[in-house]
Structure 1
Amino acid sequence: MSVVNTSKWLREYIRERKKVTSQQYFELQRRLICEPIADYFEEFNDVQLHQYFLENGMFYPDAKILNELRVMEKNNIWKMLQSYYEMLRKEWSGEEANIFVFPIEKRNKLLMKELNGKMGISFHDVILLFITKDLSHKEIKALFTHEYNHVCRLAEQQKDFDELTLLDSMIIEGMAEVAVEKTIGEELLAPWVSLYSKEELFPYWHRIVDFLQVKGKEKHDPILYGDPSSRRGRFPKWFGYCLGYQIVSSYVKNNQGMKVKQLLSIDSKEILAKSDFALK
């Protein structure tokens, strides 16, 4: 298991796209890009994955990606990630993972402005990174660190996605950014970690303490991402992400010497109980 050389897939896609009409781009992308990845899954087929990838940052079928690809190849992105993955895996005694890298959809303003042109998604042993050619190696490493931390955390907790509680979901996101902070540096933290102070978070925190054990991603998302239409009242943008980081960060500060490898195996309830957000 390793970083897959998707540059070959992308080269083939660019080549084959010239031979078909624009109406056929979508199907071509599904066949050349998503079909091979579907082999790594039992529960999802290529059609489902294609839709999910497009919704979460992968370049649209009509995107101009040749220049993006050329720069990514020149910068040896795949080789760099393979070396970094091996280092992190050794340091964390981490899980094996298959890693796929593709250009991001640059016309998506949310991805480009709020997430600095990078997006990742992770499953139990599969990671996809969507990036622009303008990212430095350090920025790409930060993105990978976040996503690989998810893979290792899920393995340590031995939980499927549908078994995660709201608290688990917040801790997972917060822990991934603490891993970035400890491994890459504070300057590479995601923009959402510093959106709100602890004092600004507390009033909203008290609204959700009775729902921390609720399971189901669809129930977590309005709190994680913030949603003005939530039944429990409005939550600010990226609320649950920011709160998760504050919980894990304060736990680490309250437990000096804690390393990422140790952090991965600690139960979410214990992290909360020894954080600045401990329930009284």
Structure 2
Amino acid sequence: MSVIQTDKWIKELLEECEEKRSSDFYDSQLKKIGEPISKHFPSSTPEEVLYHMQQNGLFQPGEWRKIKTLLESMREKEIWKTIEGEFLKLKKQWKGPEIPIYVFPITRGYDKRQEKNRNGLAIKGAVFLFLSATHSENELKAILAHEYHHVCRMTTQGLSEEDLRFDELLVLEGTAEQAVKRMYGEEFMAPWTSVFKENEMKPYWHKYLSQVLDSKDHEKNMKLMYGNKFGRPPKWMGYNAAYHLVNAFCRKKGLRKMEDLFYVSTEEIIRESTFVTPRS
């Protein structure tokens, strides 16, 4: 299992697009990507799965001509090999589950204004990474660790991505970035961890987040996580709060092993975090 050779899928997709010489390549992308990965989403159609992937960073069908060069660059940098090696290391260190890892070129990853973009998506049974060819080795390792940490914690805690409460989502994101921080250094953490300092975020926690911790409304929860680019709540609010929530807990408890965080309940992390409660 491990890292799926999706570069071969995409190469076949591009060859098929060349032969079609048509303006509509959606069907090819659905067949080569949407259908194979839809097995991980049994309650969704392949069309819904493909749309979900595109929303998370998968390149659009109309980009296929530019994706060809990006794919070649990604293969030259041996991105699939790097991801494979780090996954095997993390799986052993964290005693995590064996799952498939899918790597795809990210939309507009060939654009110099966008090429540092990267994104990931974790479900209990798989990880999907959307990348370009310009990431450093540690950047690749960091995004994999973040997403695989989600899988390990969801597995250990018996969580389901379809049924997550808002507090569980916050802790998932916060513990994943704690792993990145400890393994690769602060410079490889997600940008949202530093948009607000801990004391700056606390008022937003009390105003927007603390009252809705038991919410299972995925759409509303994600709006709180992303915030508002042009107003209130501020951009990246939930993600930033998630980082400070878990970071304050780890600072108080002095946890040394990242694996320990897999077993600490969401309720304990929130109850014991000095981000939520004042220092005694």
- Alignment TM-score > 0.5, same fold: yes
How has the CA–CA distance of structure 1 residues 106 and 211 changed in structure 2, closer, same or farther, with 3 Å as cutoff? same
**Alpha-carbon distance, 1:44 to partner:** 2.4
Once residues 143 and 210 of structure 2 are traced to their aligned partners in structure 1, the CA distance between those partners, rounded to angstroms, is 30
The aligned amino acid for 2:40 is Y
The aligned amino acid for 1:210 is Q
How has the CA–CA distance of structure 1 residues 228 and 19 changed in structure 2, closer, same or farther, with 3 Å as cutoff? closer
Aligned residues: 274
Indicate the residue corresponding to 2:245 in structure 1.
247
Once residues 66 and 87 of structure 1 are traced to their aligned partners in structure 2, the CA distance between those partners, rounded to angstroms, is 30
Indicate the residue corresponding to 1:225 in structure 2.
226
Does residue 1:5 correspond to 2:8, yes or no? no
The aligned amino acid for 1:87 is K
- Residues 22 and 62 of structure 1 are in contact (CA less than 8 Å); yes or no, is this contact kept in structure 2? no
How has the CA–CA distance of structure 1 residues 112 and 269 changed in structure 2, closer, same or farther, with 3 Å as cutoff? farther
Indicate the residue corresponding to 1:265 in structure 2.
263
Once residues 271 and 159 of structure 1 are traced to their aligned partners in structure 2, the CA distance between those partners, rounded to angstroms, is 16
Indicate the residue corresponding to 1:94 in structure 2.
96
The aligned amino acid for 2:258 is V
**Alpha-carbon distance, 1:21 to partner:** 3.7
Indicate the residue corresponding to 1:213 in structure 2.
214
1:115-126 to structure 2, matched below 5 A, reads 116-126=116-126
2:30 counterpart SS class: helix
Indicate the residue corresponding to 1:41 in structure 2.
41
Indicate the residue corresponding to 1:30 in structure 2.
30
**Alpha-carbon distance, 1:276 to partner:** 1.5
- Residues 162 and 216 of structure 1 are in contact (CA less than 8 Å); yes or no, is this contact kept in structure 2? no
Q: So what's the TM-score if we normalise by structure 2?
A: 0.92
**Alpha-carbon distance, 1:41 to partner:** 3.5
- Residues 73 and 133 of structure 2 are in contact (CA less than 8 Å); yes or no, is this contact kept in structure 1? yes
The aligned amino acid for 1:256 is G
Does residue 1:195 correspond to 2:195, yes or no? yes
Select between 158-167 and 132-141 the one with higher mean Cα deviation. Answer: 158-167
Once residues 244 and 112 of structure 1 are traced to their aligned partners in structure 2, the CA distance between those partners, rounded to angstroms, is 26
Q: So what's the TM-score if we normalise by structure 1?
A: 0.92
Q: Deviations over 1:192-240 (max 9, x none)?
A: 10000122111111123222112221121121111389xxx93110001
How has the CA–CA distance of structure 1 residues 192 and 228 changed in structure 2, closer, same or farther, with 3 Å as cutoff? closer
Once residues 22 and 236 of structure 1 are traced to their aligned partners in structure 2, the CA distance between those partners, rounded to angstroms, is 43
How has the CA–CA distance of structure 1 residues 107 and 76 changed in structure 2, closer, same or farther, with 3 Å as cutoff? closer
Select between 158-167 and 82-91 the one with higher mean Cα deviation. Answer: 158-167
1:135-214 to structure 2, matched below 5 A, reads 135-207=135-207, 208-214=209-215
**Alpha-carbon distance, 1:278 to partner:** 3.0
1:100 counterpart SS class: strand
Q: Deviations over 1:18-56 (max 9, x none)?
A: 111433311111111221112333222311111111111
The aligned amino acid for 1:217 is H
Q: Deviations over 1:70-101 (max 9, x none)?
A: 11111211122111111101111112211111
**Alpha-carbon distance, 1:103 to partner:** 0.6
**Alpha-carbon distance, 1:129 to partner:** 0.6
- Residues 112 and 118 of structure 1 are in contact (CA less than 8 Å); yes or no, is this contact kept in structure 2? no
The aligned amino acid for 2:151 is V
Once residues 269 and 120 of structure 1 are traced to their aligned partners in structure 2, the CA distance between those partners, rounded to angstroms, is 26
Indicate the residue corresponding to 2:68 in structure 1.
66
Unpaired segments ≥5 residues, structure 2:
none
**Correspondent of 1:103 among 98, 102, 105:** 105
Unpaired segments ≥5 residues, structure 1:
none
How has the CA–CA distance of structure 1 residues 108 and 8 changed in structure 2, closer, same or farther, with 3 Å as cutoff? closer
1:67-82 to structure 2, matched below 5 A, reads 67-82=69-84
Indicate the residue corresponding to 1:236 in structure 2.
234
CA RMSD, 1 decimal = 2.1
Q: % of aligned pairs identical?
A: 33
Select between 70-79 and 145-154 the one with higher mean Cα deviation. Answer: 70-79
